[in-house]
Chain A
Amino acid sequence: MSTQALQSTLVELLRSEEALALYQHDPEALAARHGLTDEERERLKAKDMGWLYVHGVHPYILAQFALSIRYDMGEYARQVREATGYSGAA
């Protein structure tokens, strides 16, 4: 796993309209630019927030990535809870 490459990809998405457009229209090219593994690329394409969280993406970066792509934050919370087995009261 290359958490650093994955995290760097997301950090670029927070800052760059060009990178965000590439993610939306040609995610393979974005993944290649950052040297992501096949699984990382597919999880990123799938917006698998739970997987990204448990594989080490910083929660501030991940949550802001979700905001950047207008992802439903209720769904975000559901995914990270399910992925971590969290059962505490929110």
Chain B
Amino acid sequence: MADLVAAMASVHIPSLLAAPQRFTPAAWENFQQGFGTLRHTLTEAGVDTIVVISDEHFNALDPRCYPSFGVVTADTCTGPVENWLGLPRGSITVQGAPELAEVVLREGMHQGFDLTRLGDVHLDHGFLTCLHFLTPQWDLSYLWLIQNCVLPPLPSVRRCYEFGRMVGEAVRAWESPRRVALLGTGGLSHAVGTPDMGRVDTAFDAKLLDLLCTNSPALCDITDAEMDAAGNGTHELRNWVTVAGAVAGAKGEVIMRETLPGCGCAMMQFQVA
């Protein structure tokens, strides 16, 4: 059976790629140290497959057809789609994990999740930003699980936690010698394109990080209204909650914090036995 050997989460703030010159040297170093810690974890654990849990920002999916939970099943995927991300469009092609995708689809249906098979989805910054720093050679296999954090009504935080629990079980049930990491991306508090853009809610960020680190059941009680109040982009923290669900019971630690103008930032990892 496959081993689930690492579980982590990070912001995917696109300015890391699109506008690195806007970071202060101290903030940039903070991010690089954080990515370095996560990269070390991946290397030490011998990870060969990463399950990326992120929303997609309408660069590939359409607002007229956007699943609550989607599974990218393609053999390979290419990106970025964006012309503003600081990387040449379509310059990165990654190996998918279609066999694991099918396992997740089957296990999900078995457990009552009506998952959507997505086939080939072009990669956007939700998938690419963290991995650009974590696996810059793009030499692993990657399964992208897309959660709807962007187009209300959204799956509840509890549902995302339960989705994560199912994903964890599917990975562990995969008849494969693969060593798998989970990576949730997005958040923390921020507002995208709305009148309150620029605002950050550090108190909400601290509360949610505490709940994530203790992997508390209270995580599931976070409401849409609380996330809305911290900015529409804050809903991406669902992707972190899903990772917590996949390693239910495991505690976590925040390995990096930074509050940038317009975005609360952090990275964390869980203590996976």
Which residues of A approach B to under 8 Å, CB–CB? 4, 7-8, 11, 14-15, 17, 20, 53, 58-64, 66-68, 70, 76-77, 80-81, 84, 86, 88-90
Contacts and interface: CB of A to CB of B under 8 A. Distances in A.
Given A14-B58, A53-B193, A77 B82 contact: no
Interface stretch (B59-67, B99-107, B112-120, B204-212): B59-67
List the 4 shortest-distance A-B pairs measured between CB atoms, nearest first: A59-B193, A63-B193, A86-B195, A90-B198
A4 B58 contact: no
A70 B63 contact: no
A7 B63 contact: yes
B199 A14 contact: no
Given A60-B150, A68-B84, A89-B199, A14 B193 contact: no
18 contacts: A11-B62, A15-B60, A15-B81, A17-B83, A20-B83, A58-B58, A58-B151, A59-B192, A59-B193, A60-B58, A60-B192, A61-B58, A64-B82, A67-B82, A80-B193, A80-B194, A86-B196, A90-B198
Contacts of A64: 57-59, 82, 84, 193
A88 B196 contact: yes
A44 B46 CA distance: 50
A67 B150 contact: no
A15 B59 contact: yes
B232 interface: yes
Nearest to B14: A67
Interface of B: 18, 57-60, 62-64, 81-84, 89, 122, 150-151, 192-199, 232
Residue of B64, B83, B198 with most partner-chain A CB within 10 A: B83
A61 B59 CA distance: 8
Classify the secondary structure of B's interface with A: loop
A20 B81 CA distance: 13
A1 to B, nearest CB: 16
Residue of A62, A67, A76 with most partner-chain B CB within 10 A: A67
A34 to B, nearest CB: 13
Given A14-B81, A64-B82, A68-B82, A88 B199 contact: yes
Nearest to B60: A15
A59 B232 contact: yes
A84 B193 CA distance: 12
Contacts of A60: 57-58, 150, 192-193, 232
A14 B82 contact: yes
B197 A77 contact: yes
A66 B197 CA distance: 14
Contact of A63 (B64, B192, B196): B192
Given A15-B81, A20-B83, A68-B83, A81 B195 contact: yes
Contacts of B62: 8, 11
A22 B194 CA distance: 27
